[in-house]
Amino acid sequence: MDTKLLQTLLFVVFILSLGLFSLLFKEKNEEAVFKKLKLLPRWFKFIGLVIILCSVSLPWIFQRLLVDGTNHLGMIYVNFGLSVICFSRDKVEDEMSNLIRLKSFYRSFVAGIVGFFFLTWMENRVSDGFSQLSADTLLGTILGIYLVSYYVTKSKIRSAE
Amino acid sequence: MQNRLKIERAIKNLTQDDLAKLIGVSRQTINSIEKGRYVPSTVLALKISKIFEKPVNEIFELDNSD
């Protein structure tokens, strides 16, 4: 099959899947939009952690480090594990934890964008050309910053008592 | 925003944990509200006023900086 046709088909599938994804999150009424964030059950955190540990430790046991920045498959597993942890609920999920979640997402998203532009600019200065920052590295950074920001804020609140 | 949550809680002899369980939030949220670090939503403020059987503006009041 022609590569361009395949790319177009993949793009159409991507758009359709986005539509299906938004249907999943469709609220029955407008009020419900502001009520609660849809999150995975709490025990998914454990699954996420197992995924990360397996994706980091198993290749190491077999003398092949997957997470070295060049093997994207390993990074995909790590990112998947991080996403599962990010979207799992806490023991008590209330409006304050929802606010902390949203602020952490905002912080990590902004940090990701700034980091992307800075690293692209640095690459251009150093190697005199543009090399694309891989999407999995960027996603991993954003998810990592989100997790750090969320849990640091929560522990700050706990320690301020 | 200022609040009398700690005083009202003492009158009713409720701990932060008791109040948190009654309104379905975490103890940290109650602590943050009491210390003025977090401003609760209208729904949460109404739930608190229902527990203490007092109007919302008797428990929460606007500060000069608000």
Q: Do A95 and B41 touch (CB under 8 A)?
A: yes
Q: Could you give the maximum distance between any two Cα atoms of chain B, in Å?
A: 32
Query: For position A144, what pLDDT does the model report?
Result: 92
Report which listed range, A29-43, A83-97, A130-144, is most confident: A83-97
Residues of B in contact with A158 (CB under 8 A): 28
Q: Which helix (H) or strand (E) holds A63?
A: none
Q: Do B38 and A97 touch (CB under 8 A)?
A: no
pLDDT bin (cut points 50, 70, 90) of residue A65 is low
Which residues lie below 8 Å from residue B58, measured CB to CB, with a gap of 6+? B4, B49
Number of folded domains that form chain B: 1
Query: For position A34, what pLDDT does the model report?
Result: 58
Residues of A in contact with B32 (CB under 8 A): 96, 157
Out of B24, B35, B38, name the one closest to residue A96 (CB).
B38
pLDDT bin (cut points 50, 70, 90) of residue A74 is confident
**Closest chain A residue to B34 measured between Cα atoms?**
A161
Q: Do A96 and B32 touch (CB under 8 A)?
A: yes
pLDDT bin (cut points 50, 70, 90) of residue A116 is confident
Q: What are the backbone dihedrals phi and psi of residue A60, each rounded to the nearest 5 degrees, phi first?
A: -65, -40
CA–CA distances in Å: residue A150 to residues A29, A33, A51, A108: 29, 22, 20, 10
**Spatial contact of B36 and B1, defined as CB atoms under 8 Å apart:** yes
A 66-95 → B contacts, CB under 8 A: 91-92, 94-95
Give the range of the structural domain holding residue B25, as residue numbers without chain letter.
Answer: 2-56
SS3 label, residue A40: strand
Domain positions in chain A: 35-159
Single-letter residue type at A108: S
Query: For position A35, what pLDDT does the model report?
Result: 64
Q: Is residue B48 in some structural domain?
A: yes
Residue A88 pairs with which residues in a beta bridge?
Answer: A40
Distance, CA of A154 to CA of B25 (rounded, Å): 14
Answer whether residue A76 shows pLDDT above 90: no
Q: Do A96 and B35 touch (CB under 8 A)?
A: no
Answer whether residue A69 shows pLDDT above 60: no
Q: Is residue B61 in some structural domain?
A: no
Q: Do A161 and B24 touch (CB under 8 A)?
A: no
Distance, CA of A90 to CA of A123 (rounded, Å): 39
Answer whether residue A39 shows pLDDT above 70: yes
pLDDT bin (cut points 50, 70, 90) of residue A26 is low
**Closest chain A residue to B29 measured between Cα atoms?**
A96
**Spatial contact of A100 and A86, defined as CB atoms under 8 Å apart:** no
Query: For position A55, what pLDDT does the model report?
Result: 81
DSSP letter at A88 equals B
**Spatial contact of A32 and A93, defined as CB atoms under 8 Å apart:** no
Residues of A in contact with B28 (CB under 8 A): 96, 154, 157-158, 161
More reliable by pLDDT, A61 or B39: B39
More reliable by pLDDT, B29 or A120: B29
**Spatial contact of B2 and B63, defined as CB atoms under 8 Å apart:** yes
Query: For position A109, what pLDDT does the model report?
Result: 93
Single-letter residue type at A34: F
Q: Is residue B38 in some structural domain?
A: yes
Per-residue pLDDT of chain B (66 residues; tens, 9 = 90+): 888 888 999 998 999 999 999 999 999 999 999 988 899 999 999 999 999 999 998 899 888 777
| CATH number (domain holding residue B33) | 1.10.260.40
Q: Is residue B63 in some structural domain?
A: no
